[in-house]
Chains A and B, each alone.
Chain A
Amino acid sequence: MKNLKYLVLGVLFGIILTKSEVISWFRIQEMFRFQAFHMYGVIGSAIVVGMLSIQLIKRNRLRTINGEEIKLADKKYNHGTWIGGTIFGLGWALTGACPGPLFAQLGSGVASAAVLILAALAGTWTYSALRERLPL
Chain B
Amino acid sequence: MLELLRQPWPWYVAGPLIGLTVPALLLVGNKALGISSSLRHVCAACVPAGIPFLNYNWRAEIWNLWFVLGIGLGGYVGYQLLGHPDTIAISAETVRDLKAQMGLTDFSGLLPRELFALENLANWKGWVFLVLGGFLVGFGTRYAGGCTSGHAISGLSNLQWVSLVAVIAFFVGGLLMTWVFYPMMF
A107 touches B74 (CB 8 A): yes
Per the bound structure, the CA–CA distance linking A44 and B148 in Å amounts to 12
Contact of A95 among B30, B43, B133 (CB under 8 A): B133
Secondary structure dominating the interface of B: helix
Across the interface, do B140 and A103 meet the contact criterion of CB distance under 8 Å?
no
* Total contacting residues, chain B, CB less than 8 A: 128
Q: A50-B23, A53-B157 are in contact. Are A104 and B133 (CB under 8 A)?
A: no
Contact of B98 among A29, A39, A74 (CB under 8 A): A29
Q: Across the interface, do A109 and B130 meet the contact criterion of CB distance under 8 Å?
A: no
Within 8 Å by CB of B15, from A43, A122, A125, lies A43
Across-interface contacts of B179 in A (CB, < 8 A): 32
| B14 CB, min distance to chain A CBs, angstroms | 3
Residue of A nearest to B161 (CB): A77
CB neighbours of A10 from chain B (8 A):
66-74
Chain A residues within an 8 Å CB radius of B100: none
A128-B29 Cα distance, complex, nearest whole Å: 28
**Beyond A3-B62, A5-B29, A91-B135, is A100–B175 a contact (Cβ under 8 Å)?**
no
A75 x B75 contact (CB < 8 A):
no
- Tell me if A125 and B47 are in contact (CB < 8 A): yes
Interface 0/1 of A15-26, CB less than 8 Å to B = 111111111111
Q: For the complex, give the distance between the alpha carbons of A75 and B115 in Å.
A: 36
- Chain B, Cβ-Cβ closest to A117: B134
Which residues of chain B have C-beta atoms less than 8 A from A80's C-beta?
Answer: 143-145
Interface on A for B, CB 8 Å cutoff? 2-33, 35-51, 53-54, 56-57, 62, 64-66, 68, 70-78, 80-100, 102-112, 115-129, 131-132, 134
Q: A12-B21, A41-B10 given. 4 additional CB < 8 A pairs?
A: A20-B14, A44-B15, A76-B162, A98-B137
Task: Enumerate the 7 nearest inter-chain pairs by beta-carbon distance, A residue then B residue, closest first.
Answer: A14-B74, A10-B70, A89-B173, A84-B143, A119-B134, A85-B169, A123-B138
